[in-house]
Amino acid sequence: MDAPHTGHRQRMKERFIKMGIESFQPHEIIELLLTYSIPRRNTNIIAHKLIDTFGSLPSVFDASFEALLNVDGITENSATLIKLVPEILRSYKNGIDESKCLNTIEKVTKYFSVAFIGITSEEFKVCCLDNGLNVISCTTVAKGTNKSASVTARSIAEEAFKANSSNVIIAHNHPDTYCTPSDADKLITRNLRTSLKAIDINILDHIIVGKDGVLSFKKIGLIPFLD
């Protein structure tokens, strides 16, 4: 019971409404969030435990469901609420991005910077475009660990055929490292472009999203240099 904190929750809500989230410390953000899943405990203590366990506010939201449950005071309801936050943020940002015409490198990098929000394992995505470079679909075609994920030309071709698209952009993330392409990244890009070109599917760009930002193969000259 948090009798000593009578009225504290209401004051936090009023403070958020009046001043916004910028007035909150990282642990206070989690504390306020948990008031919606923990009705009768001091969520301040639990919020501090979460920050202490995972190291930062983003790391709390990026923690796995199972890891969250290992923190004293976190139930399935609270873990679900925490994991909802990055998913909602990604959906929100996708929703407000009215322009899904990826006709510039800047639009492409912005699009994929949002697509990987909250994803903590490596994933490969393929974005199928029409002839006007408008997005038809964006699908995850491979999932891996926090270190690697493998993708095949066949999985990309299947998505392109379903979308009736001959132009695709591929993307993957480096959850724990920088967006600098590895030799393996360059090799797989070259092999995929060669294989898919034979069936009239063009890889227009390969995007890597890392902890330091977003990299475009086309922007740094690796496409079409790798052909």
- Give the model's pLDDT for residue 94: 66
- DSSP, res 172: E
At 157-188, the pLDDT tens digits run 999 999 999 999 999 999 989 999 999 999 99
Q: How far apart are CA 165 and CA 150, in angstroms?
A: 22
Q: Which of 206, 223, 204 is nearest to 214 (CA)?
A: 206
Q: 81-118: string of b/e by CB count within 10 Å (b at 16+)?
A: bbbebbeeebeeeeeeeeeeebeeeeebbbbbbbbbbe
Query: What integer pLDDT is reported at residue 7 of this predicted model?
Result: 85
Residue 1 has what pLDDT? Answer: 44
Residues lower than pLDDT 70 in the chain: 1-6, 94-99, 145-149, 225-227
Helix (H, G, I), strand (E, B) or coil at 124: strand
Provide the CA 16 distance to its chain's centre, in angstroms: 26
- The per-residue pLDDT for 2 is 45
Residue 19: the pLDDT is 85
- Domains of the chain: residue spans and CATH: 3-93 (1.10.150.20), 98-225 (3.40.140.10)
Output the pLDDT for position 216: 97
| Nearest in space to 77 (alpha carbons), one of 35, 116, 117, 47 | 35
